Copies of this chain bind each other. A is one copy, B any other.
Amino acid sequence: MNTPEASRRDSGARPTIKAVAAAAGVSTAAVSQAFNAKGRISEATRRRILDAAAELGWSPSATATALRSARTRTLALVVRRPTDVLGADPHFTELITGLEGELAPRGYGLLLHLVADVAEESTLYERLAAEGRVDGAVLTDARADDPRPPLLRGLGLPAVLLGAPHPDAPVPTVGLGNQGAGIHEAVDHLVELGHRHIAYVSGPGELLHTGLRRAVFEETLLLKGLAPAAVLSTDFSEAAAVAATEELLGMAQRPTAVMYANDSMAVCGIGAAQRAGLRVPDDLSVVGYDNLPIGHWLHPRLTTVDQQVQRVGAAAARALLAQCGEKVPPVALDERPRLVVRESTGPAR
């Protein structure tokens, strides 16, 4: 004959605190204490009770209900970058600023995790979902065959993916459309200024947006009947930007214009060019990417591509908050990144 507990388990009926107490060989009061972290039960007993409860699928109903409906008021932002590049690339500061602008007034926090690779990132989402640590996640750095959207869908964790709008994506995408448009405009701008030797200083090749922008750079030049003066890859670090610039300035046929994959590298490039005795833009035109605030204040002011990082962050936060049940209107985004012409680009000599 079955014990009452076993029959309950087998029939799939809801387990009871009595069943947990019986399975652990303790009183029901001790079970309560184990879950409330109160009382004088030993760690070994607490563990035995929690294991028995897990085995039976029991949890204190009030707490369980509260936990099920309760919000953590926390969104995850997992960044796949070495920690030193996080500091070097103000892009993330801009993104976080955009997110926080929406989260802070609503009392939400941002859980920031740095991970080394996609596998580590996936394991982390599994843990955050299992432990109920966040209400949703903002995914950055979209890749081809990205495993994260289906994973998060499977985990039941709301998510948005930063990147070009993609109607078939397993999770909503938030970003400007036509992501190559800014690069396209920048190349047009330089060619109109008479530049024929234009170089590109890229980010790491494996990132989707990096590869896309580099491809648009090369295609746009090709449409004009031109070839790149050079295309150099970097890890986004300042030292790599300076090294790439020095390499370009040392070429037999020196480029008359350089486009950088972000503003931070462009600022370093301007410094390196000035240090080598070149004037910007008289001797060398420089184009950045991101439209960070600093570019507006430097002398010369930086010509760059505005991809509205803060605004995309705000839109991502709102899209995710809406998925989490908050009543927030969506943020309208421009249909594409735009070139902002300032002072660091001029006629080719």
Residue pair B111, A109 in contact (C-beta under 8 Å) = yes
Measured between beta carbons, the chain B residues less than 8 angstroms from A328 are none
Measured between beta carbons, the chain B residues less than 8 angstroms from A296 are 238
Q: List 27 A-B contacts (CB under 8 A).
A: A12-B19, A14-B15, A14-B57, A15-B57, A17-B54, A37-B127, A46-B126, A50-B126, A51-B154, A54-B61, A54-B64, A54-B154, A59-B129, A59-B130, A65-B130, A83-B100, A84-B101, A87-B90, A87-B96, A90-B90, A92-B93, A103-B114, A133-B133, A264-B294, A268-B294, A271-B301, A294-B294
Report the interface size class on chain A.
35 or more
Measured between beta carbons, the chain B residues less than 8 angstroms from A14 are 13-15, 57
| Distance A88 CA – B154 CA, assembled complex (angstroms) | 38
| Distance A293 CA – B237 CA, assembled complex (angstroms) | 10
A84: nearest chain-B partner, CB-CB:
B97
**Majority secondary structure, A binding face:** helix
Q: What's the nearest-Cβ distance from chain B to residue A75, in Å? A: 10
Interface residue A115 (Cβ < 8 Å from any Cβ of B): yes
Q: Which of A31-69 contact B (CB under 8 A)?
A: 32, 34-37, 43, 46-47, 50-51, 53-69
A294: nearest chain-B partner, CB-CB:
B267
| Distance A81 CA – B242 CA, assembled complex (angstroms) | 33
Q: Which of A92-121 contact B (CB under 8 A)?
A: 92-94, 96-97, 100-101, 103-104, 107, 109-116, 119
| Distance A10 CA – B22 CA, assembled complex (angstroms) | 12
Q: What's the nearest-Cβ distance from chain B to residue A217, in Å? A: 23
Q: What's the nearest-Cβ distance from chain B to residue A307, in Å? A: 15
Given contacts A51-B154, A57-B15, contact A238 B67 (CB under 8 A): no
A123: nearest chain-B partner, CB-CB:
B37
Residue pair B54, A62 in contact (C-beta under 8 Å) = no
Measured between beta carbons, the chain B residues less than 8 angstroms from A16 are 9, 12, 15, 56-57
Measured between beta carbons, the chain B residues less than 8 angstroms from A271 are 297-299, 301
Residue pair B298, A67 in contact (C-beta under 8 Å) = no
**Within the complex, which residue of B51, B100, B310 is in contact with A114, where a contact is CB–CB below 8 Å?**
B100
Interface residue A178 (Cβ < 8 Å from any Cβ of B): no
Measured between beta carbons, the chain B residues less than 8 angstroms from A67 are 34-35, 37, 46, 50, 61-63
Residue pair B7, A12 in contact (C-beta under 8 Å) = yes
Q: What's the nearest-Cβ distance from chain B to residue A223, in Å? A: 34
Interface residue A272 (Cβ < 8 Å from any Cβ of B): yes
Residue pair A93, B97 in contact (C-beta under 8 Å) = no
